[in-house]
Structure 1
Amino acid sequence: MTTNQASVNILGGGAVVPYITAWSSEQALPSPVVHRNRGIAYADESPVDRDQDSVLWARMSASPGVGRPQFKRIHVLRQRRSMRKLLCQVCGEPKVVRPDGTLFLLSQDEYDFAPWPEPVLTSNPPVCPPCARLSVGVCPHLRRHFVVIRARAFALAGVRGNLHVPALPHPVPVRAYTAYYGDPALRWTKASQLLMRVTDYDVIDIDAAT
């Protein structure tokens, strides 16, 4: 299975493995950065290392379905792809945009940081209605601590990653950082998650997620 194949993996016991979940066979690839063009770059950089906004991305091997799913880890490329192409974070299919809005499934903590009607900033890609209900039904944490929103207006806002500073012989990472588009520090950030800002939405019951 490649990162271009969309699927839901269901393990013994009914555990669902979302499309964006990292597997034990998928690991961060050591890639030191260099100072170039007023920011950071890879010495052996290829087009896939940057997105449409010229943001440098962390490298990670891709072998979904191999090994064990690691539910607390997100695969860098699949999360980025799901956000940009509006793919369901669970099944990976492009069926999330509907006439009445697009569903996002948030943790309670993520929503409580800026509750309605404030804009919501999330690293969770959208989700299709069947997968939203499936996720809530099989994930112990989500059964009690989740918020479903139906969004009418949203846009990519920036990235989360590691901020670097100039040093010799190479720039060094100093801390986790949220870099919004337009932030000069974006050139010094190695991204690991793409962020979406949702500005117009309704909070709905999971049973209304159709």
Structure 2
Amino acid sequence: MNDVAKSRLKVGLDVPWVTSWSGEAVLGVGPCASVGGRLAVRQAERPGFGRPNYSRNHLRRQRLTVARMLCPMCGEPTPEDDRWLQTARRTTAGILRARSFAAALPPALGDDRVVVDAGAIAPCHLACAGRAAAHCPHLQAHTSGELIAFPYAWIVLPLMVRAGPTHVLDSTARPASAVSFLQLCGITTETDRAWRSRAPLTSADS
């Protein structure tokens, strides 16, 4: 891995801070501070070496953007009044529950509450939004150009994977669940009384 050349592209300017590079190999599973010491999929840290993989976020940097509200473009913290999403969609808590997120959502959150499903993309600064759209081909293909203001309340939904003994760095003999990415969901103050008409059909409905 040491023979991977350093790119002329600048991290945080030409390439989003959160983007994974070809010089950053996935290392396996082990405790990670990005999720409070829980088991997580780990990856080498060599931003700027090799080629940027715009369609793939670096595992640890992605988790940090969500856990610490860091701008995925520049890597700096975002203040409450300057958090913007480019690929998010508005939905309801009930629809998310119907899509297998029931265990991760607080029971007190009503099914009709409007939420902003950001996926695995943390909000960025307004000043960084234009730069991200200009420099990230993957983002260009998955955004309408509309910016959505991120709400003041949110929940984090860990995306888990199963890791066998050969992937666990501390040689644990049993398979373990590990965090891959952190998914982000903003909670608005709005409700949608007609949310059931937009909910996906389940096997019980068919």
The one of 49, 53, 59 equivalent to 1:70 is 53
2:26 corresponds in structure 1 to 28
CA distance in 2, matches of 1:133, 1:154: 24
CA distance in 2, matches of 1:149, 1:74: 21
For the Cα contact (< 8 Å) 1:9–1:65, is it kept in 2? no
For the Cα contact (< 8 Å) 2:11–2:48, is it kept in 1? no
2:70 corresponds in structure 1 to 87
Unaligned runs of 5+ in 1: 1-5, 11-16, 32-41, 173-187, 203-210
Shift of 1:163: 3.4
Q: Please report the RMSD computed on the Cα atoms of aligned residues, expressed in angstroms.
A: 3.3
Structure 1 residues 69, 195: closer, same or farther in 2, change over 3 A?
A: same
The one of 178, 181, 187 equivalent to 1:190 is 178
CA distance in 2, matches of 1:201, 1:134: 30
Shift of 1:190: 1.0
CA distance in 1, matches of 2:44, 2:174: 23
1:207 corresponds in structure 2 to none
Secondary structure of the structure 1 residue equivalent to 2:156: strand
1:51 corresponds in structure 2 to 35
Secondary structure of the structure 2 residue equivalent to 1:86: coil
CA distance in 1, matches of 2:19, 2:189: 26
Percent identity over the alignment? 25
For the Cα contact (< 8 Å) 1:150–1:201, is it kept in 2? no
TM normalised by structure 1 equals: 0.60
Q: Which has the higher strand share?
A: 1
CA distance in 1, matches of 2:134, 2:140: 6
Letter of the 2:86 counterpart: L
- Whether 1:126 and 2:109 are equivalent positions in the alignment is no
Shift of 1:56: 1.5
TM normalised by structure 2 equals: 0.61
The one of 17, 20, 26 equivalent to 1:19 is 17
Secondary structure of the structure 2 residue equivalent to 1:22: strand
Secondary structure of the structure 2 residue equivalent to 1:18: coil
For the Cα contact (< 8 Å) 2:161–2:179, is it kept in 1? yes
Unaligned runs of 5+ in 2: 1-9, 96-111, 166-171, 191-206
1:97 corresponds in structure 2 to 79
The one of 126, 131, 135 equivalent to 2:132 is 135
